[in-house]
Structure 1
Amino acid sequence: MRVLDLTWGDDAFPLRFTATDDGPVMASVAQGVDAAEPRRPEQRARPALVEALVLGEGRGLNSMRAIRTTVGDRLRHVEHREASLDRGRSIEIVQRDERTGLVAATTIARFDDLAAYRVTTTVTNDGAAPVVLQQVTSGTFIGLTGHLGATAELDLWTARSEWCAENRWSSTALSGAAGFAEIDTELHGHFARGSIALAGHSTWPSGEWVPVAVVENRDTGRALAWQVEHNGPWRWELDQLFDPAEALALALLGPTDLDHAWTTRLEPGDSFTTVPASVALADTGLQGAIGELTEHRRRSHLDAHADSARPLIFNDYMNALMGDPTTEKLLPLIDAAASAGAEIFCIDAGWYDDDGDWWPSVGAWEPSTVRFGELGLPGLLQVIRDRGMTPGLWVEPEVVGVRSPVAQQLPEAAFMRRGSVRIVEHDRYFLDLRSPDARAHLDAVFDRLIGEYGARYFKWDYNVTPGSGPDSDASGPGEGLLGHTRALLAWVEALRARHPGVVLEACSSGAQRMDAATLARFDLQSTTDQQDARRYPTIATGAPMAMAPEMAGNWAYPQSEWSDERIAFTLVTGLSGRLYLSGNLDRLDERQLAVVREAAAVYPAVIQHHAHALPAWPLGLPAWEDAQVALATATAESTLAFVWNRDADATSAVLSFPALAGSGVEVETVFPTGLPAWPTTWDAEAGALTVDLTGAGEAARVLRLSPAR
């Protein structure tokens, strides 16, 4: 007998929760799907909303998938309740497994008017004996093919990501050679055991793959996007099911035993809460689903106002001082940055180092005694203020170099340890933020840098990762690492509450920690360490798949030996997100500086536009070496198109703007206006803009498309 059949959420794309008295609660993203009842238990085509792998209980059907767990099978609906939230609503669904006494409370929340849902599950041991969890889904969703269409029509979009090559998006046909095989489930009597799955590891959650993905129907445009919101290990998987009416399931998880050596022991009365994950639905393709996630990300951001104006930042590192700041090198750069229009000047790595080898000496965060002469670091920061800019500093607070005195000053418990040995990677130890001593050390560091030196901007870097994690005071390294990552997020929130006027930039060897949990607590994200301006557009164009466009800190690093076109090329990259200036500006001549000043002059209007716009890809998501690359950010009033040509022999490119089809459009060049304009032709019926690239060479432009008057 059915004990629950509830439709909840967005009017166009609600979730449906169902349960019978002899089965667990199931969550479907398709309101109207009713799959056939299974003939045998092993054919159960509908995984539970909560799948919990418990030591000693295992799976009902053996595999390495997250679904079909024995405890998941046994969960039964207890109650559900709705609640009002700030700008939204939530529903909590409570289930219980009578045999173990485990109680699973799943909370699904959404902001008003968005077809996006955030899900977490809390498992409580209400039994009499300890229980060891090996993995728990934040949520498992069925009805994917009911919403999206048949598997043969679907493409999966994922992004490889590594140092200097982030955000490389590509699609895989779910029924192709790299997708699911058709095994004839009717003949074999149950569904397949394999998955299409990805996992992120350690404390670089986007160091291998971006923790965001989309499934899109290439014919109808129905799409489903998701993200795992954790600054540490994660896993998601797509699973084939038995019934063609519900052929796919999606499971979203944080760390697992199989992937990350994670387990946790729940004594009677103990609870564990999964990491958050979110899904978004649309019928306007990948762009529509990512648009829903974009607004969801904006509303999820920590309520921090120090960066609300998004001032223009200059940083001395990229293709400039490269970690070797001195008074002699900084003074002309400070003048040039101020002259160009920068509002924040950040001194990057090396400001604390006395012997020229800054990498293994981090940790004390005291200024160098040899780099800055009579002025000293405080004097240089005052020069920055005198030139009308806010001073900033690079920090890598979560690590301590092996040559730093802090490595001996702090107690052993302040560091990550495994097997009672300190974890060391590339001449760095790792602070364990579960430790009060580690947190007290960082409190003192930031209080000094903010209070004594007046730094108001921090580039927060993180260039090494500790592997599976610390096992001290934990059941294993996975549990230790999860405790650390959660303590870090809590510490950042406390820092922001204590110092609300400070702006924080997230950087992790570029964007190795480009996850929604980090992004929600920082003001901007460095998108890469890529020093080749020609390769950067692919990275910048893919960044809004993972973050709101205004958060994407895209480097622009003009050089005196470059042509004006090449200088404009790197500045267009910067303007496609949050323009983040670097380079040897002090070596540019007046003509070259004029190009930089023009970009700085248009930046306030561009970044204000980004902050209310949704991303689009007029040439599709680019491959790494595509000759032409384009990103658009669109509001109801106008569309900005950022277009790069990397083929000197190209003659044209056709950009697609389906939302503008059927109407006249005016096209103007926003930047650079002092270089030759690219002729354009608008096809109103097709919603296509043809850009004439004849003779353009390797170049880039920012174009504005507005309704014709």
Structure 2
Amino acid sequence: MYAVADSAGSVRLGAPGRDWPALLPLVEVTATGHGRTWSGERFIDTAIGDRLAYREHETVDEGDWQRTTIGLADPTTGLAAEITLRTCPGTRFLRSQVRLVNEGGAPLRLESVSTLAVGGIVDGSGAPDGLTLHWADNDWLAECRWRHSALRDHVVQLSRAAHGHEGRGCFERYSQGSWSSGRHLPMAALTDDRTGRAWLWQIESSAGWRYETGEREGAAYLALFGPDDAHHQWHQLLEPGQEFTTVPAVLVGVETGGLDAAFGELTAYRRRIRRRHPDHTALPVIYNDYMNTLMGDPTADRLQPLVEAAGAAGAEVFVIDAGWYDDDAQGWWDAVGAWDASDRRFPGGIQQVLDAIKRHGMTPGLWLEPEVVGVRSPLADTLPPEAFFRRGGIRVTEHGRHHLDLRHPAARAHLDRVVDRLVGEWGVGYLKLDYNINIGPGTEHGGESAGAGLLGHHRAHLDWLGSLLDRHPGLVLENCASGGLRMDYAQLAVVQIQSTSDQQDPLRYPPIAAAAATAATPEQAAVWAYPQPHFGLDEIAFTLTGALPGRIHLSGFLDRMSPEQFDLVRSGLSVYKALRAEIPGSLPFWPLGLPSWEDTWLAYGWRGPTATWLALWRREPAAGGQGGAPRPRDRHPADDSTCTVTVPHLRGAYVHPTPLYPVTADSTTTWDAVGGQLTVSLPRPGTAVLLRLDVASSRPDGLPSHP
């Protein structure tokens, strides 16, 4: 990407060699009284953006990073814009953030500000007609559902020459309320399948985001935003001298390799921006008592056998999930907030259970939902009214909870005391931080808009999380929001682990597990594995296989299993421990493409420093699939027990596939070196296999083998 200026001083960003009219102003801004030059659904072609003129720029090296800051100014309003573009030499990403300062003499009410705006995106023929759009729907129990279609299915050709104007619409996705990924992941892509070009982006915000893409001057464009007035009730009044900074966003662009290459670049970028922590390389096995097991009803007696069994199986962290604080016959949901252990559930004190966890060689962990206070909690009355979200002067209530505003010192001090007690006094080393309500557009403090209040809380929340890790450097923080409903890299740049779903059906989890590395680095993406005593051996191996490529959230009544079942669980954890050192340096790929929700066969692979690994699942065909033609996304007939996948980076190499788990898998494999294709047979639906693909040092004829 290059930033270029015209004779009038307007600066625009795009790919080199693209026509000037197809590019966008470097920053797009709408403000009350200063809208767009062409009205419609788009937030581009803004009057202020068109007027912003070049003032200065600076490029400096900052360690491995290179930072370019470009200064712009609007002569009409006096608004100054400073866009900061960051990259690392040799990489294919561009990270952007915009700072606005009101240098004029009158207040300016902002309604939308782009973080990054890029034009001139075309396919190999120089037009947008061959581009494919990829986006991810997201929902509770159904996260990371990637979809794709031709860009022209959403952005139709309107014959600009006949009308003299662009269209008024675009393809857009945006968040709603405080679940940043409650509807969609804050990311998407455009690809040109004929050339392998790909443009992949993510917006790093938990407080509102929106992206749009469409056609402009015969090319595709992309504009990335944080919260705005139309979608998030966000506006920001800038008095003279005041400033505002947007949320960050990143764009990855690759010339070859398509989505797999782009996600590889994005994975490496995510590793660069996050806070360093030993958990990113240690990857301990986590047992959590919740899913399909105690389900928020722990007691000392129920936990004791699970602690013993988890330790014997090889778990290294044991998390007591929701309910440990519940001492109320009316239930804990609307009474949370004080975070004191229940005397009824732990007659001898919770410390006895935490000590038992340590004696079995595991780090104790607890579930916490810090941002909420139940309406029946004493904290609802003792904390100041200003410590809670309010709109129209009324405290917000959602699903029996109030929401803390972490900009208020009383709210933050309360949570600091809680965490310092749990970690410093109780010896807890892992906190699962959940977030189970969508509080809506935000909070109004004084004259601020609700969306601005949510953004302010969001930034204070991130600062609070960082302060916990400053005081307790070994503490591990898990990001959970009813599973994956706040799955964004504002959060994941600070916390260590992301819960990918609350999905309890092991047959429904594979498409989430297979796509989890699109939303988080593999070493941060936690997948539930909940083997149960009533499961057959195939079912146990099936649920465990899904967790082996990333982070394991083990659950289930391990203490009630037969020796054969328990050994199968323990062997899965042993396999994981043998390969986990490779995961933090690996890059993901999808040899069958990104999974669809109803696919019969799913595949996810990762390239490590020493080998390639591949997980494959075979499920029952979707209802209605029997006897008919396979669905477009289903690459194999419903009754086909064999799947062939292409592994492009191993094409031409002589590869030895080894089944790692289950060790007694009755799968068969065949490798075609010329085509780089692996054929795998799983004779029964509801089975899965994890394979290691090792490149042989020589071919069968004794000549050297090179991938």
1:365 aligns with 2:350: no
Q: What is the aligned partner in structure 1 of residue 705 from structure 2?
A: none
Q: What is the aligned partner in structure 1 of residue 242 from structure 2?
A: 270
2: distance between equivalents of 1:644 and 1:303? 33
Matches within 5 A, 1:165-184: 165-176=142-153, 179-184=154-159
For structure 1, the 5+ residue unaligned runs are 1-14, 36-43
Of 286, 297, 304, which aligns to 2:259? 286
Instruction: Give the letter for the 2:672 counterpart.
Output: D
Matches within 5 A, 1:658-673: 658-673=648-663
Q: What is the aligned partner in structure 2 of residue 600 from structure 1?
A: 573
Residue identity over aligned pairs, in percent, reads 45
2: distance between equivalents of 1:619 and 1:98? 53
Instruction: Give the letter for the 1:279 counterpart.
Output: L
Matches within 5 A, 1:123-522: 123-145=100-122, 149-176=126-153, 179-242=154-217, 244=218, 247-282=219-254, 283-305=256-278, 308-355=281-328, 357-374=331-348, 376-522=349-495
Normalised by the length of structure 2, the TM-score is 0.94
| SS of 2:116 mapped into structure 1 | strand
Q: What is the aligned partner in structure 2 of residue 676 from structure 1?
A: 665
1:21 aligns with 2:7: yes
How far off its partner does 1:353 sit?
A: 0.3
Moved more, 552-561 or 583-592: 583-592
Contact between 1:148 and 1:154, CA under 8 Å: does it hold in 2? no
How far off its partner does 1:172 sit?
A: 1.6
Give per-residue Cα distances to partners, 1:648-684, cap 9 Å, x unaligned: 84320011101111111100011111x2331111111
2: distance between equivalents of 1:697 and 1:505? 33
Instruction: Give the letter for the 1:263 counterpart.
Output: H
Q: What is the aligned partner in structure 2 of residue 570 from structure 1?
A: 543
Instruction: Give the letter for the 2:646 counterpart.
Output: S
The 1:181–1:306 alpha-carbon spacing in structure 2 relative to 1, beyond 3 Å, is closer
1: distance between equivalents of 2:152 and 2:655? 39
The 1:539–1:366 alpha-carbon spacing in structure 2 relative to 1, beyond 3 Å, is same
| SS of 2:490 mapped into structure 1 | helix
Instruction: Give the letter for the 2:208 counterpart.
Output: P
2: distance between equivalents of 1:258 and 1:667? 53
2: distance between equivalents of 1:346 and 1:213? 34
How far off its partner does 1:595 sit?
A: 0.7
The 1:692–1:305 alpha-carbon spacing in structure 2 relative to 1, beyond 3 Å, is closer
How far off its partner does 1:239 sit?
A: 2.5
Contact between 1:33 and 1:146, CA under 8 Å: does it hold in 2? no
2: distance between equivalents of 1:324 and 1:580? 18
Contact between 1:515 and 1:546, CA under 8 Å: does it hold in 2? yes
Instruction: Give the letter for the 2:274 counterpart.
Output: H
2: distance between equivalents of 1:455 and 1:578? 20
1:704 aligns with 2:689: no
Q: What is the aligned partner in structure 1 of residue 593 from structure 2?
A: 620
How far off its partner does 1:303 sit?
A: 2.2
Give per-residue Cα distances to partners, 1:312-337, cap 9 Å, x unaligned: 11000001100000011000000000
How far off its partner does 1:306 sit?
A: 5.0
2: distance between equivalents of 1:609 and 1:590? 30
Contact between 1:415 and 1:432, CA under 8 Å: does it hold in 2? yes
Q: What is the aligned partner in structure 1 of residue 557 from structure 2?
A: 584
Q: What is the aligned partner in structure 2 of residue 5 from structure 1?
A: none
Contact between 2:281 and 2:581, CA under 8 Å: does it hold in 1? no
Q: What is the aligned partner in structure 2 of residue 32 from structure 1?
A: 17
How far off its partner does 1:307 sit?
A: 5.2
Normalised by the length of structure 1, the TM-score is 0.94
How far off its partner does 1:636 sit?
A: 5.0
Contact between 2:121 and 2:128, CA under 8 Å: does it hold in 1? no
Of 70, 80, 92, which aligns to 1:93? 70
Contact between 2:433 and 2:479, CA under 8 Å: does it hold in 1? yes
Instruction: Give the letter for the 1:270 counterpart.
Output: Q
How far off its partner does 1:148 sit?
A: 8.8
How far off its partner does 1:359 sit?
A: 1.1
Give per-residue Cα distances to partners, 1:45-99, cap 9 Å, x unaligned: 4320100101111111112211111110101000010111232111000000111
1: distance between equivalents of 2:245 and 2:443? 20
Instruction: Give the letter for the 1:173 counterpart.
Output: A
Count of residues paired in the alignment: 678
The 1:474–1:669 alpha-carbon spacing in structure 2 relative to 1, beyond 3 Å, is farther
1:524 aligns with 2:497: yes
1: distance between equivalents of 2:91 and 2:398? 43
Root mean square deviation, CA, Å: 1.3
| SS of 2:122 mapped into structure 1 | helix
| SS of 1:516 mapped into structure 2 | coil
How far off its partner does 1:195 sit?
A: 0.8
2: distance between equivalents of 1:145 and 1:306? 41
The 1:379–1:636 alpha-carbon spacing in structure 2 relative to 1, beyond 3 Å, is closer
How far off its partner does 1:433 sit?
A: 1.1
1: distance between equivalents of 2:180 and 2:128? 28
2: distance between equivalents of 1:366 and 1:114? 48
2: distance between equivalents of 1:250 and 1:600? 43
| SS of 1:404 mapped into structure 2 | coil
